[in-house]
Each structure stands twice: as structure tokens, then as C-alpha cells.
Amino acid sequence: MGKFVNSVEEFFSYCKENEVKFVDFRFTDIKGTWHHVTYTMTAISPDTFKSGIPFDGSSVDAWQPINRSDMVLIPEAETAFLDPFTADSTVIVICDVYDIYKGQMYEKCPRSIAKKAVSHLSESGVGDTAFFGPENEFFVFDDVKIKDDINCASYCVDSEEGGWNDATDYPDGYNTGHRPRTKGGYFPCQPIDSMVDLRAEMVQVLEQVGLEVFVVHHEVAQAQGEIGVKFGTLVEAADNVQKYKYVVRMVAHLNGKTATFMPKPLYGDNGSGMHVHQSIWKDGKNLFYKEGEYANLSDMARYYIGGILAHARSVAAFTNASTNSYKRLIPGFEAPSILTYSSQNRSASCRIPYGSGEKSTRIEMRFPDSTGNPYLAFSAMLMAGLDGIKNKTEPAGPMDEDLFELSLDEIRERGINQMPHTLRGSLEAVIRDNEYLKPVMSKHFIDTYQHYKFETQVWPYEARPTPFEFKTTYSC
């Protein structure tokens, strides 16, 4: 588990031992997509890790103009691992992006922003390490069809686990009738859980690429799963999310299925989140722990929560980065949209896991999802939390009751804030509230990010008629 390589010298030894033919250099764009360029092993030398790999920055969404398109990838040898899916032995290396025009790490490179956030933590004197433990839920479908034309919009996802298939005649088999049903997928055994072997294969491949897996199970919704991997430092954890998503998608693909991290693909069933566990340490000591306090939380941990909740509407632009994100954050589906904290209570947007001792005390932010770029999502939460520590921001709560039972009027009467209801709302919030981000995100980056999201997500989404609108307004 963990690193396979600890230096550039070890990288070449590792490649020789594994008879590597190709080196695949990967980097992450603003929206969180992994990109890659492949070189033959013979074209790579130790100098490559210093001088970098040239590429066209104008061909990546929201990056460089065409007249200043030359950019450089700086590979990090310590991230190397063998690609488990290529026919020829290929090693993957994760890269940062370097701006040759400004002579610095690129201000729009999410991984470089994450490294700035880590440095800011150290420079602040608050702590020397921030640990992040994301829990990425996903769906696996047998088929997906999408249509988005001027006169027609539709989608259809299918899974043998779906209750809608109770009366389906299968040409190559029979209908078993064993299904999780809506909201019935949490921990059922086979044959109701049809994805045991598929998830087991995902686990084995995740371990091949260096992730330490500790739990795997069916999730609440039909066709939904989760694989739990060990926490890491901020950049390491974000790297692992990229590896995790790559493996889950590819294993599903090679088994004739399709995996998605889309937050809400099924109407009326639970959605997929990316719950993120967090803690700050200094000199090997967990600064979030104080025995005897509520849930053993220190003042620092409480202020950290306060900072995230105070800036949550702005943070959401990075942690819930799609229009679909906000279809998950509605009442009735374990949606953690109420901005308070609680011990053990999954209805709060921040939960303190049960039984946490000195080494394991942490907070769990439950509103993020996997459409958020992990480097940006983790950085935004860390910066908001540090702002809360700096200003001793007290969060609303703790609240141990079932918040899902409260009406909107009751929530407002108690003075509890909520997550924004749309991506537009979160982007407008980040326009108003971004001072806490400025140590690691430049004004140019924040402007670029919110404009890009408006242009590619919000405006196209708001302009499109939907089948539901035809159903409710066509005869008006």
C-alpha cells in the first residue's frame, strides 16, 4: 500500500523491474477531469522531472488563450504506479502544471492550489498536517441513454437491481425478482446485492494501485455502492480520489457496465455524496481532540466547523460543483443540507463520528459530492476552517435531534442556515464571499472558475425545457 517510488532514481529502477514500455503523465483540469499524455519509456530521462513535459494549455477548458498556450507539466515521481488496465506495461505519474510566462506554478492548476493550501496551513502556525478522508459513493448501471436536442431531451439509466424491472422479460435469462427497492440497498446480502463480485474486483485493483481499502458495501439506493479507502494528507487524498474514480469506472467498463459519480441519477432514491473526514495535527498530536468536551472536540475543531459552516454557501461552489448536486441536497433523502453539527447524527451537515479517541477524533462534512474537483473542494474547506479558527467562529449547534423531521419554517425559526438550493446560488455566494480563499486562489482563478461554471453548467441548464415542465405546463 502507499507509495511504490520515493525518488526519481527509484522511479527508473521501478520501471526497469516492471519492464515499463510507456509513461503516462496525468493532470487535473478545473472541473476535476483527469487528462493524460503518453511517452515511450525511452523518451524519458531524469531531466524530464526537472524540465517537465510541454503541452497545449489552450486546449484545456478555461485555461490559456491560444497566443499564450505553451505550458509545462512537472511530474512528481513519488506518485508513480502501474496502470492496471493497459495491454503494455505503463506507469502513471501525476503532474502539476507550470506557467512559463509567469515563471511559477500555474494559478489555475487545482493540484498546485492544493499544495498552496497545505503550505498556508503550515505558515499559519495552526498545524503542520491536515488529514482528509473522502467517502465517494457511486452508481453502477447496465445501460445509459442520453438525448439532448433542440426539440427533445431525455435520459434513461437501467440496472437489473432497479425496481422498475420487476416485470421485465430478459432475453438471456429469467427475472429473479430479488431487488433492493427504493432506499432499500443498505447492506442486503446476495442475491439482492448483485454487485458483490464487481466491487470485490474494484477493491483488488484499488489495492494494486496503492490505495488501502478497509470497507466495501452496497449503499442505500438501487445500483449504488461505496468502497472506503484510508485517509491521507490533503494532496494525497485528492490524488487518491482521482485514482479511485479511474479504477471504479474502468472495472465497471471492462465488465460491460457503466459507473457514475453523478450525485442524483435516480429520481426518488438516495443520491451519492463525498463525505469528507478532516482533522488538523501538529507535531504528531491531533489538535481536534479534547477529552471530556462534546464528542471530544477541542475548541479548535469547533471553530474549524464554524468556519466551514459560515462559508458553506461559498464553499459549495467547489464541493458541490454541478447543477445535479443540488437535486441531492433536498429533504427526504438523508440530504445533509442543514448547516449545523452533531455527534453521530447523520442529518446534520457536519457529523462527529461515534467512538472517536485521541487518534481518530475528526469531523465529517457530509454535504460535498464527487462532482467537486477534490483538490479544490479540500482546499476550500481547509481555508474556510482556518478562517473559522482565526476568528473563533462558533457553529450552530450541536443539534442531536432528527433534523430531517423539521419543517423549513422550524429551521428558519431556529436561525439555522441551509446550503444553497442551486449551483447558481453557490456561485453567487463565492462572488460575494471569497476573501478566505485569497491566500491560495487568485482573483483571476476565482473569476475564471465562476464564469466557467455559469457558462458550462448554469446557463445551459436554465435554458433547457425538461420533461417535467412539459408535464406540468403544456396544457396551461
Residues annotated as part of the active site: 56, 135, 137, 219, 226, 275, 346, 364, 366
Quick one: which of 146, 459, 457 has its CA closest to 321?
A: 457
Q: Which CATH superfamily groups domain 8-106?
A: Glutamine synthetase, N-terminal domain (3.10.20.70)
pLDDT of residue 270 exceeding 90, the answer is yes
Residues in a beta bridge with 228: 215
Quick one: which of 280, 289, 283 has its CA closest to 234?
A: 280
CB atoms within 10 A of CB 453: 24
Q: 347: which residues sit within 8 A by CB, 6+ positions away?
A: 334, 336, 338, 402, 403, 404
CB 109 within 8 A of CB 27: yes
pLDDT tens across 27-79, in order? 999 999 999 999 999 999 999 999 999 999 999 999 999 999 999 999 999 99
CB 234 within 8 A of CB 117: yes
Q: Which CATH superfamily groups domain 129-473?
A: Glutamine synthetase/guanido kinase, catalytic domain (3.30.590.10)
Q: Given CA atoms 438, 312, 220, 224 in this order, what sign does their dihedral have?
A: negative
Angstrom distance (rounded) from CA 457 to CA 452: 8
Average of pLDDT values for 288-297? 92
Residues in a beta bridge with 324: none
Q: Please give the grid coordinates belonging to residue 214.
A: 478497509
DSSP 3-state of 132: strand
155 residue type, one letter: Y
CB 51 within 8 A of CB 75: no
Residue with cell 479511474: 246
Structural domain spans, the chain: 8-106, 129-473
Q: Which of 39-53, 331-345, 357-371 has the lowest mean pLDDT?
A: 331-345
pLDDT at position 323 is: 98
Q: Give, rounded to a whole angstrom, the gap between the first and last alpha carbons of the chain.
A: 61
